[in-house]
C-alpha cells in the first residue's frame, strides 16, 4: 500500500546558480537585480523553483540557459541550504550549483534583457538572503577543484596563451604564482596542444597560443590527479 503524504509538511525547493566567468580583469560573477519583493532592487544570484517534471540538474541547466544562452558548460552541485528562516516569504530549501563559463561565449543581449551584470569577486555588492554564503562556499570549492580537476580551462577562450592561463589560476587562487613552476606543472599534465599561432598583442615577439586536448582533458576530468600550485 502506498503511503499517504497528505499529512506531511510541504516545502518549496529552488536552485540558485553561482556563475563564474573570467576576463583580463580577473575572476567575475554574474548577478541579477531582483525585480520583485522582498528585497526588490537588490542584487541576487540567478535562480528558480524546481518544477515537478525536472531533476535538480535539469532545473539548474534551465536557469543557466535562460540567463546566458549556454547549455553545454561545466556545472557542479554545491550544497543544500535549508535554514528555516532563510527566505522570509515561505519555507524554501535551495540547492546551489556553480558553473564556469567563458565570458566571450555567453549571450550579451540576454544579460542586458535581465538587467544582469558581471562583477569582480572582490568588488561584488552585498547579496540577498544567504547568497553571500553560497558565493563564499562556491569560491572555496572552485579553489579546491583547481588541484583535483583542470576545471579552470572552462573559463578561457578556445585559444589562449600560457600567460592567460597563469593569470586565470592566480585570479581563482587569489595569490601570485611562480611562472616557471606553474608552466612546468601544467605541461606535466599533458593536456595542452601548442599551436603554430601567436597572440601578437601580448608582446613584440608575440606569445604562442594553446588549446587543450579535448580527449585527454576529459580523461583528466574523470580520473583523479593532483596539481599543487
pLDDT tens-place string over residues 123-148: 999 999 999 999 999 999 999 988 88
Report how far residue 55's alpha carbon sits from residue 39's, in angstroms, rounded to the nearest whole number. Answer: 28
Predicted local confidence at residue 92, as pLDDT: 97
Active-site choice (83, 104, 115, 218): 115
Confidence of residue 225 (pLDDT cuts 50, 70, 90): low
Confidence of residue 114 (pLDDT cuts 50, 70, 90): confident
CA distance readout (Å), 171 to 22, 30, 43, 81, 85:
9, 16, 23, 27, 34
Between 1.20.1540.10, 1.10.10.10, 3.40.50.10490, 1.20.210.10, what CATH number should domain 151-222 receive? 1.10.10.10
Going from N- to C-terminal start, the domains of the chain cover 12-148, 151-222
pTM for the model stands at 0.88
Residue pLDDT, tens place only, 32-90: 999 899 999 999 999 999 999 999 999 999 999 998 888 888 899 999 999 999 999 99
Give yes or no: 115 in active site. Answer: yes
Average confidence score pLDDT of the chain: 89
Report how far residue 195's alpha carbon sits from residue 193's, in angstroms, rounded to the nearest whole number. Answer: 6
Has domain 12-148 been given CATH number 3.40.50.12170?
A: no
What average pLDDT score do residues 151-177 get? 89
Amino acid at each position: 500500500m502506498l503511503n499517504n503524504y497528505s499529512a506531511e509538511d510541504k516545502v518549496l525547493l529552488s536552485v540558485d546558480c553561482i556563475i563564474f566567468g573570467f576576463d583580463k580583469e580577473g575572476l567575475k560573477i554574474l548577478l541579477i537585480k531582483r525585480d520583485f519583493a522582498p528585497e526588490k532592487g537588490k542584487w541576487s544570484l540567478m535562480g528558480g523553483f524546481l518544477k515537478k517534471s525536472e531533476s535538480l540538474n535539469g532545473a539548474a541547466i534551465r536557469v543557466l540557459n535562460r540567463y546566458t544562452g549556454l547549455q553545454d558548460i561545466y556545472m557542479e552541485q554545491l550544497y543544500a541550504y535549508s535554514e528555516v528562516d532563510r527566505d522570509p516569504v515561505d519555507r524554501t530549501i535551495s540547492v546551489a550549483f556553480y558553473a564556469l563559463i567563458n565570458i566571450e561565449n555567453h549571450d550579451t543581449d540576454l544579460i542586458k534583457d535581465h538587467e544582469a551584470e558581471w562583477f569582480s569577486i572582490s568588488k561584488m555588492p552585498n547579496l540577498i538572503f544567504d547568497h553571500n554564503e553560497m558565493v563564499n562556499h562556491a569560491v572555496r570549492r572552485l579553489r579546491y577543484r583547481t588541484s583535483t580537476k583542470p576545471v579552470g580551462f572552462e573559463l578561457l577562450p578556445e585559444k589562449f596563451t600560457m600567460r592567460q592561463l597563469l593569470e586565470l589560476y592566480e585570479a581563482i587562487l587569489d595569490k601570485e604564482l611562480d611562472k616557471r613552476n606553474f608552466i612546468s606543472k601544467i605541461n606535466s599534465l599533458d593536456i595542452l596542444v601548442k599551436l603554430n599561432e601567436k597572440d601578437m598583442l601580448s608582446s613584440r615577439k608575440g606569445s604562442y597560443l594553446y588549446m587543450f586536448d579535448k580527449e585527454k582533458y576529459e580523461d583528466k576530468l574523470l580520473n583523479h590527479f593532483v596539481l599543487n600550485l
